[in-house]
C-alpha cells in the first residue's frame, strides 16, 4: 500500500479501507457457520460509509442497525428488508413507526416499556410487527467497561424473568409476532467462555418458551468478536461458531450473527501528516494534522492503535506523545510512543482504524471530517469527499440575521 501516493492524491487526514480484507473476514466468518442456517448481519455502526455497506450487501450480508438512519443507509446500499434488524435502547415513536412500515425482519426490543410502544404503534398502523427481545444474561464479557453490554449494570436488554413475561405478552398480542431472541454481551471479546455461557442461558430460555408453545425462528448471537490491535489473543471464528452450535442441540433456529469490528477494524488505516515536533522540557510531542475529532478511540477508551512512521529518518527511537490540533489535553493518538525524529510533512499511519473511527467523528473546533478512500483489487476510489467549511455551516447560514 503506497501511503505517500494516497496522501498526495487525497490529502490528509485520510481514512483508507481495504475492501478485499473485509471480504476475506466476512467469508471466514460465514464459512465458520456452515452447516446451520445463518444470516450475517453487518453491524453498520462500526463503519457506516454507504460504499462499505454496499460491499457487504454484495457479499450477501444483512444489516444490524441501531438508528433509523442506519436502517435507511442499509436500504440505500441494497440490503433487502428481510435481512435488516433494528436494535437500540431508545427508539423514538417515529423510528418505530418507520421500521414497521418498511417491513424489516424484526425490531429488537430492549424493555417492557418499549414493547408497549411497539405494540401501540403497530395497532395504530393496523400491522403485525415482528419482534425479537434482547436478553441480558448477566455474564461478564471480560472487556472494557465502556463496551460491556451483558451485565445487569449495563443499560442493554432485559433479564430472563422480564423477557419471559414480554414473550408471553407478545405472543398473546394480535399486533406483535415474537420471532427471535437476541443477546450481545459486549464488544472486543477475546474470551470464548462468556460467549458460550451466554448462548447456553439464552438457548435454555428458548426451550422454556417452547414448553409454553412459543416457537421462535431466530437465535441472534449479536457480535463483538475481538481483533488484534496489539498483542491480544483472539477467538477463531470456527471455535466461536462451534461453541454456539453446542448450545443449540435439538433446536431448529436460524443463527443471526452481527459482526462489525471483526470485519472492518484491521481493514482500516488513518493517515495523518506531521506538522511539527515540540519539546516541553523532557517531554516530546509530535503534532499532527489529524485530531480527536477524526479518531476518538484513544481519547475515549485510551485505546491502543499501532502507529507507523513513513519517513526517511534513520534516527534512534525515543518516546513521544502523538497529539493533534484540537484545543483539549485529551487530543492524542498515542502516549509515549517510540518514534524516530520526524520532519514536517512526514506521514504517520494509524493502524486498525476501520471500526468506530470515522463514524464517531465530529466537527469539534469547526474541523471538517476526513475524506474516505476504498481500496479494491489494488485500485483506490474516493468514497466520501473531505468536508469543507461551507458544508459545516450549511445548516446555520440561512438563519444569520
335: which 3 cell numbers? 502516549
Can you tell me whether residue 93 is helix, strand or coil? helix
Provide the pairing of β-strand 268-280 with 254-257.
Answer: unpaired
348's CB contacts (< 8 A; 6+ apart) are 271, 272, 273, 274, 286, 288, 307, 308, 309, 310, 322, 333, 342
Query: CA–CA separation, 153 vs 165, rounded Å?
Result: 21
Instruction: Please state the residue numbers annotated as binding site.
Output: 224, 258-261, 297, 301, 328, 356
Q: Are 318 and 377 in contact (CB under 8 A)?
A: no
Angstrom distance (rounded) from CA 386 to CA 368: 7
Instruction: Say how many C-beta atoms besides its own lie within 10 A of residue 92's C-beta.
Output: 12
The residues assigned a catalytic role are: 327
Query: Residues at the annotated binding site for pyridoxal 5'-phosphate?
Result: 224, 258-261, 356
Q: Residue 57 is placed in which grid cell?
A: 450487501
Beta strands in 126-199 (DSSP E): 129-134, 176-182
- Report the binding-site residues for substrate: 261, 297, 301, 328, 356
Amino acid at each position: 500500500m503506497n501511503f505517500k501516493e494516497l496522501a498526495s492524491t487525497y490529502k490528509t487526514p485520510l481514512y483508507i479501507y481495504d475492501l478485499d480484507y473485509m471480504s476475506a473476514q466476512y467469508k471466514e466468518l460465514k464459512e465458520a457457520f456452515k452447516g446451520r442456517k445463518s444470516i450475517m448481519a453487518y453491524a453498520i455502526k462500526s463503519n457506516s460509509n454507504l460504499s462499505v455497506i454496499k460491499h457487504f450487501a454484495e457479499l450477501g450480508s444483512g444489516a444490524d442497525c441501531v438508528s433509523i438512519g442506519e436502517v435507511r443507509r442499509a436500504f440505500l446500499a441494497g440490503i433487502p428488508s428481510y435481512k435488516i434488524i433494528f436494535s437500540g435502547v431508545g427508539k423514538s415513536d417515529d423510528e418505530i413507526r418507520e421500521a414497521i412500515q418498511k417491513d424489516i425482519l424484526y425490531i429488537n426490543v430492549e424493555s417492557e416499556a418499549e414493547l408497549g410502544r411497539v405494540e401501540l404503534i403497530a395497532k395504530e398502523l393496523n400491522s403485525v410487527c415482528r419482534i425479537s427481545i434482547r436478553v441480558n444474561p448477566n455474564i461478564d464479557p471480560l472487556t472494557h467497561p465502556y463496551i460491556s453490554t451483558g451485565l445487569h449494570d449495563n443499560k442493554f436488554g432485559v433479564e430472563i424473568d422480564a423477557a419471559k413475561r414480554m414473550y408471553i405478552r407478545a405472543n398473546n398480542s394480535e399486533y406483535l409476532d415474537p420471532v427471535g431472541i437476541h443477546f450481545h454481551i459486549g464488544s472486543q471479546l477475546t474470551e470464548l467462555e462468556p460467549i458460550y455461557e451466554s448462548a447456553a442461558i439464552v438457548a435454555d430460555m428458548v426451550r422454556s418458551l417452547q414448553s409454553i408453545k412459543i416457537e421462535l425462528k431466530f437465535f441472534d448471537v449479536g457480535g463483538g468478536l475481538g481483533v488484534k490491535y496489539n498483542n491480544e489473543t483472539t477467538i477463531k471464528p470456527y471455535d466461536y461458531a462451534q461453541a454456539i452450535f453446542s448450545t443449540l442441540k435439538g433446536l431448529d433456529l436460524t443463527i443471526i450473527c452481527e459482526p462489525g469490528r471483526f470485519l472492518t477494524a484491521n481493514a482500516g488505516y488513518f493517515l495523518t501528516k506531521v506538522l511539527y515536533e515540540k519539546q516541553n522540557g523532557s517531554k516530546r510531542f509530535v503534532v499532527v494534522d489529524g485530531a480527536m475529532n477524526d479518531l476518538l478511540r484513544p481519547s475515549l477508551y485510551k485505546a491502543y492503535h499501532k502507529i507507523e512512521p513513513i519517513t526517511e529518518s534513520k534516527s534512534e527511537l525515543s518516546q513521544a506523545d502523538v497529539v493533534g490540533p484540537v484545543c483539549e489535553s485529551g487530543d492524542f493518538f498515542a502516549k509515549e510512543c517510540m518514534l524516530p525524529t520526524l520532519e514536517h510533512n512526514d506521514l504517520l499511519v494509524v493502524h486498525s482504524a476501520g471500526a468506530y473511527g470515522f463514524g464517531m467523528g465530529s466537527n469539534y473546533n469547526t474541523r471538517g471530517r476526513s475524506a474516505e478512500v476504498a481500496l479494491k483489487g489494488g485500485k483506490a476510489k474516493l468514497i466520501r469527499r473531505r468536508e469543507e467549511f461551507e458544508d459545516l455551516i450549511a445548516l446555520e447560514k440561512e438563519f444569520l440575521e
